[in-house]
Amino acid sequence: MKKFLLFLFVIAIFAIGGLYGYKKLSTDERKNEIIQMFNKELLNDFVESKKSVMERLKTAKDKEEGNKIYSEYVATNKLMLEKINEAHSELLENVFMADSKYNFTPEEWKTVNNYLKDYDLELIDMGEGNAMIAQVPNFYYDIFKDYVTDDYRDYLELVAKEYSEPYFGIEEILVSHEKIADRLLAWEDFQKKYPNSDFLAEADIEANVYRRAYILGAYNLHTREGGSENPELYYIPDNILKEFNRFIETNPDSPTVEYINFYLENYKNPNIEEILYDKFEKEIVKDYESENSNEPVIKDTLEVITEEDKESKGE
pLDDT for residue 37: 93
| Residue 194: other Cβ atoms inside 10 A | 18
Contact 205, 212 (CB under 8 A): no
Q: Is a pLDDT exceeding 70 seen at residue 308?
A: no
2/51: higher pLDDT = 51
User: With pLDDT > 70 as the criterion, what percentage of the chain qualifies?
Assistant: 80
pTM of the model: 0.79
- Mean pLDDT to the nearest integer, 246-272: 95
pLDDT for residue 126: 78
- Mean pLDDT to the nearest integer, 155-173: 82
pLDDT for residue 173: 80
Mode of pairing for the β-strands spanning 130-135 and 121-127? antiparallel
pLDDT for residue 130: 84
| pLDDT tier for residue 221 given thresholds of 50, 70 and 90 | confident
pLDDT for residue 36: 93
Residues 56-101 pLDDT 10s: 999 999 999 999 999 999 999 999 999 999 999 999 999 888 888 9
Distance CA 159, CA 187 (A): 10
pLDDT for residue 171: 65
pLDDT for residue 256: 95
Residues 107-163 pLDDT 10s: 999 999 999 999 999 999 877 788 899 999 999 999 999 999 999 999 999 999 988
pLDDT for residue 166: 75
Judged by average pLDDT, the poorest of 98-102, 245-249, 309-313 is 309-313
Distance CA 305, CA 272 (A): 12
Q: What is the mean pLDDT of the chain?
A: 83
Residues 16-67 pLDDT 10s: 444 444 344 477 888 999 999 999 999 999 999 999 999 999 999 999 999 9
Residues 176-206 pLDDT 10s: 899 999 999 999 999 999 999 999 999 999 9
pLDDT for residue 70: 97
